[in-house]
């Protein structure tokens, strides 16, 4: 089959890790008889520098007519003093909104072979395998007014947390569906002891729960959830939460696995979906060929599964990544102080050759 993929490299390590993803897709194409056509669009700091906006209209159009979008990462200290609208992150938020990517899926799975790179004890992280479903187009990230204003008592500043009931319902429904396909345990994370939006969130979850009798629904306050993720992460199957809680908890959760450089994400909506590693643009190591490409390569697997219906290919990529780690190959973020490690390009190549040898063995 023939697929159109929009590629948004972004800033920092973005271009390096995305390059490995493109090579992997071409490799998959050759091995399994598909063809991928790539079209590149600008986003983030580079777009600010070259076009004066973090999300040029052309990029939005390109994404809308593609089968799926692959994104590296955006941002860096160079743009720290830009106005809110010209910050690279604004491009990311805008593309999420433009494509209505309301469901951000962040799987967190511990690779057994990396258990010793996690700061948590091995017995705590054993069997960790859960998914965070983060609401991505509402809440305090997008609410208005968002402003500073001078009052007689000095500067006052407002951020606004708004949710429509329909927005809460649609993300909860995604999470119930996912839990239903997995181990049927859904933890809905909120701050219902303080926030009105969380109380409505809870009511919606309880109402929907009646349609999913097989799924066990549990409510958990976000402060407790932050603690439980470290104390007993294997209790979770699917976690669903609003935008900002999900942002914070997913970074916390990434530590369990040993490196944020491993975790992929899928942002699903009504049109083309977007795939990206959950880590940032890591400007401190940009251009050094040392970033871990595995989160991006895992994101490619999610793209094949969710957007292109290539389930076997997705699974083969995931198994190849697992095998590479099992053989002991590490990137810098995963290696111990005296351990040897691979560069970004070497790791990408290792995954591709492992895929090839796996295919040869299977045939």
Contact 138, 243 (CB under 8 A): yes
Q: Is residue 129 annotated as a catalytic residue, yes or no?
A: no
Residue closer to ligand IPM (CB basis): 115 or 277: 277
| Whole-angstrom Cα Rg for the chain | 20
Q: Does 276 engage in binding with Mg ion (CB under 5 A)?
A: no
Residues that bind ligand IPM (CB under 6 A): 75, 89, 92-93, 247, 278
Binding letters toward Mg ion, positions 247-266, x by CB under 5 A: x-------------------
278 is in an annotated binding site: no
| Segment lying near Mg ion (by CB under 5 A), choices 122-130, 231-239, 243-251, 255-263 | 243-251
- Distance spanning both ends of the chain, measured CA to CA: 21
Out of ligand IPM, Mg ion, none, what residue 222 binds, judged by CB under 5 to 8 A for its kind, is none
Distance CA 138, CA 164 (A): 8
Kindly state the smallest distance separating residue 108's Cβ from Mg ion, in Å: 14
Distance CA 279, CA 263 (A): 8
Residue closer to Mg ion (CB basis): 216 or 251: 251
Helix axes 344-362, 294-306, angle to 10 degrees: 50
Q: Is residue 329 annotated as a catalytic residue, yes or no?
A: no
CA-closest candidate to residue 60, choices 29, 90, 93, 98: 98
| Segment lying near Mg ion (by CB under 5 A), choices 176-184, 195-203, 245-253, 336-344 | 245-253
Element (H, E) at 101: none
Residue closer to ligand IPM (CB basis): 75 or 258: 75
Q: Greatest CA span in the chain, whole angstroms?
A: 76
Contact 69, 273 (CB under 8 A): yes
Out of Mg ion, ligand IPM, none, what residue 89 binds, judged by CB under 5 to 8 A for its kind, is ligand IPM
Instruction: Provide the b/e sequence for 6-19 (b: ≥16 CB within 10 Å).
Output: bbbbbbbbbbbbbb
**CB-based closest residue to Mg ion:** 247
Q: Can the peptide bond before residue 145 be classed as cis, meaning omega within 30 degrees of 0?
A: yes
26 is in an annotated binding site: no
Q: Does 11 engage in binding with Mg ion (CB under 5 A)?
A: no
Out of Mg ion, ligand IPM, none, what residue 346 binds, judged by CB under 5 to 8 A for its kind, is none
Residues binding Mg ion: number (CB under 5 A): 1
Q: Is residue 358 annotated as a catalytic residue, yes or no?
A: no
Q: Is residue 223 annotated as a catalytic residue, yes or no?
A: yes
CA-closest candidate to residue 189, choices 260, 248, 110: 248
Q: Is residue 237 annotated as a catalytic residue, yes or no?
A: no
Residues assigned a catalytic role: 141, 191, 223, 247, 251
Annotated binding site for substrate: 96, 106, 134, 223
């Amino acid at each position: 089959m023939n697929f159109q993929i929009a590629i948004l490299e972004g800033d920092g390590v973005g271009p390096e890790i995305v390059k490995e993803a493109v090579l992997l897709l071409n490799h998959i194409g050759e091995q399994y008889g598909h063809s991928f056509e790539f079209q590149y669009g600008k986003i983030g700091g580079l777009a600010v520098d070259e076009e004066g906006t973090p999300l040029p209209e052309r990029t939005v159009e390109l994404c809308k007519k593609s089968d799926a979008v692959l994104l590296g990462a955006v941002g860096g200290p160079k743009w720290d003093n830009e106005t809110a609208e010209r910050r690279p992150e604004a491009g990311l938020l805008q593309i999420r909104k433009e494509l209505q990517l309301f469901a951000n899926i962040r799987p967190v799975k511990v690779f057994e072979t990396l258990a010793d790179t996690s700061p948590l004890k091995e017995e705590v992280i054993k069997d960790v395998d859960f998914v965070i479903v983060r609401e991505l187009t509402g809440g305090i990230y997008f609410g208005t007014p968002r402003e500073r204003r001078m009052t007689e008592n000095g500067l006052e500043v407002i951020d606004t947390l708004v949710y429509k009931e329909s927005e809460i319902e649609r993300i909860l429904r995604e999470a119930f569906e996912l839990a239903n396909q997995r181990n049927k345990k859904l933890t809905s994370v909120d701050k219902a002891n303080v926030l009105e939006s969380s109380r409505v969130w809870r009511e919606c979850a309880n109402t929907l729960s009646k349609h999913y009798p097989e799924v066990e629904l549990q409510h958990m306050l976000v402060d407790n959830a932050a603690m439980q993720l470290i104390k007993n992460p294997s209790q979770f199957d699917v976690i669903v939460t609003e935008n900002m809680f999900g942002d914070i908890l997913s970074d916390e959760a990434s530590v369990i696995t040993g490196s944020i450089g491993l975790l992929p994400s899928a942002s699903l909506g009504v049109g083309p979906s977007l795939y990206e590693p959950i880590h940032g643009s890591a400007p401190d190591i940009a251009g050094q060929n040392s970033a871990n490409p595995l989160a991006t390569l895992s994101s490619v697997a999610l793209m094949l599964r969710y957007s292109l219906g290539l389930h076997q290919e997705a699974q083969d990529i995931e198994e190849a990544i697992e095998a590479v780690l099992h053989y002991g190959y590490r990137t810098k973020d995963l290696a111990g102080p005296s351990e040897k490690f691979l560069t970004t390009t070497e790791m990408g190549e290792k995954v591709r050759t492992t895929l090839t040898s796996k295919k040869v063995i299977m045939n």
